[in-house]
A and B are shown apart, each in its own frame.
Chain A
């Protein structure tokens, strides 16, 4: 079964038009054509005449959930989401950054998305591996069935096997390349803190210059702040101009949180995020 992107695009436009006409939402978060067809941009449709600019193709990888926190509470928003984006929406609802009743979630079941920087197909090595949105009000397309179930943490096996010193050498080399542009932070739907810890002066957690130790502090703390919240969309790694494989570490933390606390991020709006929750019978074994 191959994905008919044009059909999805048409359904998305039809739905957006309907919602704006009926006044059910004031904005629709979707995509539009960028400087060429292979580089779509995030788009906010506000009027019915805006709807004709909406596109959807295999390069529409941006996680639109990151824009939800920009709008004042109470704004009625329709948002086009793929599977991992829908998880981000759920996670934001869990954290009370946006209300479920203010959203109309347009779920897009899809696979075969492509990275517009490299042209390569995106698989569960760098993203969550789920095809069908977990939360939606309207499903724009048929649910994906029969596609291989890919383990989202499979890519970690190789890294968990290698010796810790080799792992350190790997991460040291990767973090050395970081130029502290903060694209990862801004691309992430869950990084909405203002001010971010790294921008603070008292205390100063990391120096401003892109040296190893400052980069290490920034990244490790960010991985920690996203523990149990990262929904594995892979946007951070795609946004990175120097291609640091951030998804590897985020996946590792997500895997550990799932194993230790029995809950994956962004799967149900009734959940509480794992680190603002506890069970009295949490095992002490997790500290070993």
Chain B
């Protein structure tokens, strides 16, 4: 059975999510592994979301936001850029493969880019294999009472 990675995508409402929508309406094909969560701005992202995602079994996390300078709220993604850069460094120092967490700036008109990024990222995570380091092991299953 081929490994199908579980990838969490966190997309900002105004740019990336709309871009993803555009990819859909223009019938662009991209892998189905991405589970998208919509946030209003990339700066809403608490780095703990990323850690938690890996703990809950995500093999990869992809964050998408507006291009710096074009944030719908003016400065949100400028803070997010700094914050998520630190998150990336922390994950790497802890020993998580760098290829598992990515931040991309995808605007509302870049449906193509969205599809390309997701395709490439899914391939990259697939090559890395299942993420086992942070993933919480489930309790042993109960014997039938």
Contacts and interface: CB of A to CB of B under 8 A. Distances in A.
A271 B90 CA distance: 23
B51 A280 contact: no
A221 B134 contact: no
B86 A253 contact: yes
Contacts of A260: 82, 85-86, 89
Contacts of A227: 86, 90
A165 interface: yes
B55 interface: yes
A252 interface: yes
Contact of B48 (A197, A278, A286): A197
Contact of A284 (B48, B51, B81, B83): B81
Interface residues of A, number: 40
Instruction: Specify the main secondary structure of chain B where it touches its partner.
Output: helix
B47 interface: yes
A275 B52 contact: no
A168 B134 CA distance: 10
Nearest to A159: B93
Interface stretch (A19-27, A119-127, A212-220): A212-220
B52 A224 contact: no
The CB with the most chain A CB atoms within 10 A, among B78, B90, B102, is that of: B90
A216 B55 contact: yes
Contacts of A164: 92, 95-97
A261 interface: yes
A239 B41 CA distance: 38
A274 B82 contact: yes
A223 B90 contact: yes
B12 interface: no
B55 A253 contact: no
Given A216-B134, A249-B93, A256-B89, A221 B47 contact: yes
B94 A287 contact: no
A277 to B, nearest CB: 8
B88 A287 contact: yes
A238 B59 CA distance: 35
Contacts of A252: 89, 93
A287 B86 CA distance: 8
Nearest to A164: B95
Interface in A70-88: none
A286 B81 contact: yes
Interface string B126-145: 00000001101000000000
Contact of A205 (B52, B78, B136): B52
A29 interface: no
A200 B53 CA distance: 18
B78 A280 contact: yes
B89 A167 contact: no
A103 B94 CA distance: 38
Interface string B58-81: 000000000011000001001101
B55 A217 contact: yes
Contacts of B68: 280, 282, 284
A168 B95 contact: yes
B81 A224 contact: no
Nearest to A205: B48
Interface string A235-277: 0000000000000010011001100110000000000001111
A153 interface: no
A205 B53 CA distance: 11
Given A275-B83, A278-B81, 6 more contacts: A220-B94, A227-B90, A279-B78, A280-B69, A282-B68, A287-B88
Interface of B: 47-48, 51-52, 55, 68-69, 75, 78-79, 81-90, 92-97, 102-103, 105, 133-134, 136
